[in-house]
Amino acid sequence: MFTVNPIPPPDPNDERSIQLHKDRVLAAYSPLFDLMDQALRDSVPRATDFFRLLNGPVDLGVHAANTRYLARLFLASKDISADNEESMGFELDRVPNCGLCLRGPNYEIRILKTSSDGIPKAASEARSRFYSSNQMQFAFANGQPPDSQPEIALNLVVLWSMGPSYSYAGLEIGCPRGEQSDGRVDCYWITRWQAGEGVLAVRRPVPPSSEPDLDEIKPLAVPKVASS
């Protein structure tokens, strides 16, 4: 099982806190995100090949289900246990965007196929609670003394998408905050995962300089030494 130290939720009113939270999550979970990217990079074209073998048109619902199945097998081969989302005891409809769910001591990650709205809208109360639980964790962290705070469980979404000819188009990683009135999912942050770069894709924000005019300093040209 992949383990990582607890990462407290960000302050939703502090952009720097949100940026730092994103950097910490991407750095801590980079090995797992890389495995997910490899799993889907391997699985999406194989799911597409299934329809070529049958000489029939691609059915997106069947394609998503086959991709989910193949990705689960790939992750299992790497000793990563991924359960079908609808088999986790949640009351979820069997729709194409039902994905895989990975759970660890301090996190829950759902791998979903992106929808026209980005993160798929909640199809059940369970999915709705999942999208909102990070916000509740922040309320707990700020409203209780340290010795009475509950264990932090970070919820993340990993979205995969397809490009032309049903090719794999990469991953996005998001930290959901809650749902809007129209059902769309709001995030503290969401970013594209750079395949194969791991922690090198994470850049720490540079603190603002106390002397703004330093940005205007240009390096002096080094005079050439005349050759003899």
Q: Which pLDDT tens digit goes with each residue over 158-180?
A: 999 999 999 999 999 999 999 99
* pLDDT over 90 (residue 139): no
What's the confidence (pLDDT) of residue 141?
A: 52
- Cross-strand pairs, 84: 100
Domains of the chain: which residue ranges?
A: 15-201
- For the stretch 168-171, contacts whose Cβ atoms lie closer than 8 Å and that sit 24 or more positions apart, written own/partner, are 168/40, 168/41, 168/44, 168/45, 170/37, 170/195, 171/33, 171/36, 171/37, 171/40, 171/195
Please state, rounded to an integer, the average pLDDT across all residues of the chain. Answer: 78
What's the confidence (pLDDT) of residue 88?
A: 40
What's the confidence (pLDDT) of residue 97?
A: 54
pTM for this structure? Answer: 0.75
Q: What is the mean pLDDT of residues 183-195?
A: 91
For residues 85-120, one letter each, b for 16 or more C-beta atoms within 10 angstroms of the residue's C-beta and e for the rest, the string is bbeeebebeeebbbbbbbebeebbbbbbbbeeebbb
Q: Which pLDDT tens digit goes with each residue over 35-90?
A: 999 999 999 999 999 999 999 999 998 999 999 999 999 999 988 888 776 544 33
Q: What is the mean pLDDT of residues 106-112?
A: 91
**27 against 104, higher pLDDT:** 27
Label residue 142 by pLDDT band (50, 70, 90): low
